[in-house]
């Protein structure tokens, strides 16, 4: 047995050593080792073989195979009580997640692995983990954290004299400094990286480093040199079977050709890249390529293709969110089990484990909260452009384009609903959700809600009925956003499961007092219904009840769970009556304060004349700024634009504005600090209303700065809400 173990170890060591220049042989050797492990029932080396094989398959773009191999190795390592082995497998799984755009799960696995490596002083793997974390931070826009993680990676690599790991970190640092427009620093780092790769003869790594040098040349507008480097990287990655590196090079080459106005070559390289992303599910690059095609066709003024690829882009974002949800659900129990299992040891070991778990929980909670905030911003910002452009285009659209625009609007609204459900579920689960009660016209909301959903009902060939009690007041104090979300989730659920007949929304006054009305809301349908034993399950998180006569419907499985929690937030409960093949009825009561004050109602309806107002728009995103400027100009508003918080601070010193519309996440100086400067430093706008325009759901919760703002308006902006805000003061 000892000889066999030695043979297996030699096979695994050789396969890992040659992975940098002969990946196919690495796979063959590891499969041979795995076969010997199975024949001789050697579980510890089998688990190690599965982990290494997972790594090699991930490099070649076979992500699903790699993911499943890592899960198998984790189960074996758990049985063996091998924490280091578990961490190695988790590192591979993290790579699967962040390469397919599920950054949150990627960060969770990386943090778990990193804590183990730090406890073991395993600097080789600490360096790898820090570099991977930097990739996630960079992609989600947290540049400073990305740089710090890469510097940590270099420091760890130097401790164990791992030149290739050091070189990999230099390559990534170069890319970040290009984005910061610090070209000399970027050049220095990439030349270091290439020098090391040539010295160690790491062919695959050299392909990435040459690609990195091409990016530097691209930034310097040395297009000939950049094209040569990108093509050399493509040749190396093709030979090595490195799919991620290959598609990255194609994407950058396509962008370069677009910049020099060689549209055909841009399309060719983008198409080559898109074919690879479709085959190997490299969604984080696929999204970039779809956006590039959208930009190309927009430049060519090809309206049909522009809308087509914009819709592809929206759908891909939506599919990524759904895929993330499903993977999270599938592995939730497994994750809980993994984290609950702890190896029994001596008192000091147990104490160390408990301390490590405590640190991990705090760090993971902090990272998840930061991640939620960042991804909220990253997803909502492009959605702001999509929804606003769609609204503006609808005003002057050709009849033949209206179907495409309606489809695009529906898809973007559907994506927004998925985003809201995921983010709101997290906030509700953490107990960070509260009601924002304002005086609003409930009848108007119900009628607008019916208009917005009637189109989808007509498309399915069913009727959507609205019945409002004559006793219902016009104005109540309620949270308009959450009311819309409750009704939206329930009506969308009915639309999803009703193919024949009708849906009905009924609102009835069931109890009246001087100050309050108790309203009964009923949403009924003639859909497929729910089996009696499944009725209680529909409000469970991630639940998608299916029966023997129905197929599984699309969705996150969060809508009804969130609805139940939102109604409970109002101090009420939701009930359901349903019969299989006959339909369902959802009903709940809300006690709302009503307004009898005529002056209050007039104030709600009153719109000041905003024509001629002077507004400072602070927005770093060029597309969103262009859209907002066009929108405000249509209302006769004179607008100054500042591209960051520092420029806004300077402009506010010498010009008096009627309003300031302030983005939050910006380079140079963010919106929080800019608002503080305007409120506290000598200038002409210390009393000027400042509205935070943000895609970050956590913006209102920043207690250090939120009192500097008059209010916050969430992106994607609802045009009428923006107008009401400007008219309200």
Same domain for 564 and 711: no
Which range, 69-73, 290-294, 296-300, 521-525, has the best average confidence (pLDDT)? 521-525
Domain CATH number, residue 88: 1.25.40.10
Same domain for 551 and 691: no
The residue out of 120, 137, 161 marking a domain boundary is 120
Q: Which class for 686: exposed (0-12), middle (13-18), buried (19 or more C-beta within 10 A)?
A: exposed
Find, among 719, 718, 621, 704, the residue nearest to 665 by Cα: 621
Nearest-Å Rg of the Cα atoms of the chain is 28
Q: Which class for 585: exposed (0-12), middle (13-18), buried (19 or more C-beta within 10 A)?
A: middle
Indicate whether 33 pLDDT > 90. Answer: yes
Kindly report whether the peptide bond that precedes residue 161 is cis, defined as omega within 30 degrees of 0: no
Helices (H), 549-597: 559-569
| Residue 369, pLDDT score | 56
Given the structure tokens 């104030």, which residue do they identify?
603
Beta carbons of 687 and 642 less than 8 angstroms apart: no
Same domain for 579 and 551: yes
Same domain for 568 and 456: yes
The more confident residue out of 16 and 696 is: 16
Find, among 617, 639, 699, the residue nearest to 664 by Cα: 699
The more confident residue out of 398 and 506 is: 506
Given the structure tokens 């591209």, which residue do they identify?
643
How far apart CA 51 and CA 352 sit, in angstroms, is: 26
Same domain for 647 and 686: yes
Indicate whether 634 pLDDT > 60. Answer: yes
The more confident residue out of 181 and 540 is: 181
255 Cα distance to chain centroid: 23
| Residue 372, pLDDT score | 56
What single DSSP character describes residue 543? -
The percent of the chain in helix, strand and coil, each rounded to the nearest 5, is 65, 10, 20
101 in any annotated domain: yes
How far apart CA 322 and CA 415 sit, in angstroms, is: 10
| Residue 257, pLDDT score | 95
The more confident residue out of 439 and 177 is: 177
The confidence band for 64, taking pLDDT boundaries of 50, 70 and 90, is confident
| Residue 324, pLDDT score | 45
- What pLDDT, in 10s, does the model give residues 319-372? 654 444 444 334 433 333 334 343 343 444 555 555 555 565 555 555 555 555
The residue out of 563, 581, 602 marking a domain boundary is 602
Same domain for 442 and 423: no
Same domain for 448 and 491: yes
Least confident interval from 378-387, 471-480, 716-725: 378-387
For the CA atoms of 224, 230, 231, 235, the dihedral, rounded to the nearest 10 degrees, stands at 160
Same domain for 639 and 525: no
What single DSSP character describes residue 500? S
| Residue 609, pLDDT score | 65
| Residue 484, pLDDT score | 84
Q: Quick one: which H or E segment has residue 520?
A: strand 516-525
Provide CB contacts within 8 A for 187, sequence distance 6+.
174, 216
Given the structure tokens 């129905």, which residue do they identify?
550
575 in any annotated domain: yes
| Residue 242, pLDDT score | 87
- What pLDDT, in 10s, does the model give residues 390-400? 666 666 666 66
Residue 645 has a CB neighbour count (10 Å cut-off) of 26
Least confident interval from 43-52, 295-304, 591-600, 688-697: 591-600
Structure tokens at 609: 């004349």
| Residue 394, pLDDT score | 63
Same domain for 87 and 99: yes
Find, among 611, 607, 616, the residue nearest to 633 by Cα: 611
357 in any annotated domain: no
324 in any annotated domain: no
Indicate whether 567 pLDDT > 80. Answer: yes
Same domain for 687 and 661: yes
Helices (H), 120-182: 123-139, 143-159, 163-179
How far apart CA 114 and CA 125 sit, in angstroms, is: 8
Beta carbons of 256 and 233 less than 8 angstroms apart: no
Indicate whether 576 pLDDT > 50. Answer: yes
Same domain for 555 and 641: no
Q: What is the pTM of this model?
A: 0.46
Domain CATH number, residue 697: 3.40.50.2300
Strand partners, 506: 467, 522
| Residue 345, pLDDT score | 39
- What pLDDT, in 10s, does the model give residues 207-248? 999 999 999 999 999 999 999 999 999 999 999 888 889 999
What single DSSP character describes residue 101? T
Q: Given the DSSP bridges, would you call strands 475-478 and 438-441 parallel, antiparallel or unpaired?
A: antiparallel
* Full residue range of the structural domain in which residue 624 is found: 605-728
The residue out of 103, 120, 137 marking a domain boundary is 120
129 in any annotated domain: no
How far apart CA 544 and CA 556 sit, in angstroms, is: 8
Structure tokens at 390: 């769609």
Residue 463: strand, helix, or coil = strand
418 Cα distance to chain centroid: 11
Same domain for 547 and 415: no
Provide φ and ψ at 440, rounded to 5°: -145, 160
pLDDT over 70, % of the chain: 77
| Domain tally, the chain | 4
How far apart CA 226 and CA 475 sit, in angstroms, is: 63
299 in any annotated domain: no
- What pLDDT, in 10s, does the model give residues 425-473? 556 655 666 777 888 889 988 988 888 788 788 888 899 999 999 999 8
Least confident interval from 132-146, 297-311, 681-695: 132-146
The confidence band for 137, taking pLDDT boundaries of 50, 70 and 90, is confident
Structure tokens at 281: 């599910």
The more confident residue out of 379 and 1 is: 1
Indicate whether 556 pLDDT > 50. Answer: no
312 in any annotated domain: no
How far apart CA 657 and CA 685 sit, in angstroms, is: 7
Domain CATH number, residue 558: 3.30.565.10
The more confident residue out of 714 and 212 is: 212
**Mean of per-residue pLDDT scores for the chain:** 81
Residue 297 has a CB neighbour count (10 Å cut-off) of 20
Q: Which residues of 385-400 are buried (b: 16+ CB within 10 A; e: fewer)?
A: bbbbbbbebeeebeee
Indicate whether 407 pLDDT > 70. Answer: no
| Residue 331, pLDDT score | 40
| Residue 170, pLDDT score | 95
| Residue 604, pLDDT score | 43
The confidence band for 546, taking pLDDT boundaries of 50, 70 and 90, is very low
The more confident residue out of 491 and 406 is: 491
Q: Which class for 139: exposed (0-12), middle (13-18), buried (19 or more C-beta within 10 A)?
A: middle
The residue count of the chain comes to 729
78 in any annotated domain: yes
Indicate whether 503 pLDDT > 90. Answer: yes
């Amino acid at each position: 047995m000892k000889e066999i173990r030695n043979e297996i170890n030699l096979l695994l060591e050789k396969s890992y050593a040659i992975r940098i220049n002969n990946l196919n042989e690495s796979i063959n050797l590891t499969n041979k080792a795995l076969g010997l492990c199975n024949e001789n029932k050697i579980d510890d080396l089998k688990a190690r073989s599965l982990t290494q094989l997972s790594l090699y398959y991930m490099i070649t773009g076979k992500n699903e195979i790699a993911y499943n191999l890592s899960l198998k190795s984790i189960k074996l390592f758990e049985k063996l009580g091998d924490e280091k082995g578990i961490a190695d497998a988790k590192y591979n799984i993290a790579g699967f997640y962040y390469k397919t755009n599920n950054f949150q799960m990627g960060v969770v696995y990386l943090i778990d692995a990193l804590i183990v490596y730090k406890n073991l002083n395993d600097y080789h793997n600490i360096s790898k983990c820090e570099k991977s974390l930097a990739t996630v931070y960079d992609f989600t826009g947290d540049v400073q954290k990305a740089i710090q993680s890469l510097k940590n990676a270099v420091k760890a690599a130097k401790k164990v004299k791992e030149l290739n790991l050091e070189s990999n970190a230099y390559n990534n640092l170069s890319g970040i400094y290009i984005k910061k427009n610090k070209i000399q620093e970027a050049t220095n780092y990439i030349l270091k990286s290439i020098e090391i790769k040539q010295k160690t003869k790491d062919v695959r790594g050299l392909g990435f480093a040459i690609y990195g040098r091409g990016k530097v040349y691209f930034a310097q507008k040395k297009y000939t040199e950049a094209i040569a480097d990108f093509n050399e990287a493509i040749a190396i990655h093709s030979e090595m079977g490195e799919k991620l590196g290959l598609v990255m090079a194609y994407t950058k080459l396509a962008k370069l050709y677009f910049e020099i106005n060689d549209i055909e070559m841009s399309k060719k390289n983008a198409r080559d890249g898109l074919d690879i992303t479709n085959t190997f599910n490299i969604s984080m690059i696929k999204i970039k390529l779809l956006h590039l095609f959208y930009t190309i066709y927009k430049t060519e003024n090809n309206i049909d293709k522009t809308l087509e690829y914009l819709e592809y882009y929206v759908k891909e974002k939506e599919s990524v969110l759904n895929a993330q949800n499903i993977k999270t659900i599938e592995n939730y129990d497994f994750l809980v089990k993994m984290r609950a299992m702890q190896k029994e040891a001596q008192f000091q070991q147990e104490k160390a484990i408990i301390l490590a778990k405590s640190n991990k929980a705090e760090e993971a909670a902090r990272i998840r909260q930061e991640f939620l905030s960042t991804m909220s911003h990253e997803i909502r910002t492009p959605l702001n452009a999509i929804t606003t452009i769609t609204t503006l285009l609808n005003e002057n659209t050709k009849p033949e384009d209206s179907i495409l625009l309606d489809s695009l609007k529906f898809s973007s609204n559907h994506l927004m609903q998925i985003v809201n459900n995921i983010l709101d579920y997290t906030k509700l689960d953490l107990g960070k959700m509260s009601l924002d009660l304002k005086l609003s016209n409930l009848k108007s909301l119900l009628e607008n809600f019916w208009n917005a959903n009637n189109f989808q009902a007509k498309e399915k060939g069913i009727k959507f009925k609205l019945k409002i009690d004559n006793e219902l007041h016009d104005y109540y104090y309620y949270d308009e956003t959450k009311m819309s979300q409750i009704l939206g989730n329930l009506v969308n659920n009915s639309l999803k499961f009703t193919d024949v007949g009708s849906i009905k929304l009924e609102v009835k006054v069931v109890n009246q007092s001087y100050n309050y009305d108790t309203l009964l809301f009923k949403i009924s349908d003639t859909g497929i219904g729910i089996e009696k034993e499944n009725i209680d399950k529909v409000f469970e998180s991630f639940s998608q009840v299916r029966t023997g006569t129905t197929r599984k419907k699309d969705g996150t499985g969060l809508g009804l769970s969130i609805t139940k929690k939102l109604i409970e937030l109002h101090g009420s409960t939701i009930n359901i009556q349903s019969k299989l093949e006959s339909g369902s009825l959802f009903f709940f009561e809300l006690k709302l304060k009503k307004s009898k004050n005529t002056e209050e109602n007039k104030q709600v309806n009153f719109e000041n004349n905003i024509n001629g107002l002077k507004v400072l728009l602070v927005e770093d995103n060029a597309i969103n700024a262009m859209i907002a400027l066009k929108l405000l100009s249509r209302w006769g508003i004179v607008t100054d634009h500042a591209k960051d918080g520092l420029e806004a601070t300077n402009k506010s010193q010498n010009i008096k504005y009627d309003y300031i519309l302030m983005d939050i996440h910006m380079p140079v100086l963010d919106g929080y600090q800019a608002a503080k400067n305007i409120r506290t430093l000598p200038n002409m706008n210390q009393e000027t209303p400042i509205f935070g325009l943000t895609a970050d759901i956590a913006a209102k919760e920043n207690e250090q700065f939120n009192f500097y703002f008059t209010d916050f308006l969430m992106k994607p902006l609802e045009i009428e809400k923006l107008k009401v805000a400007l008219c309200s003061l």
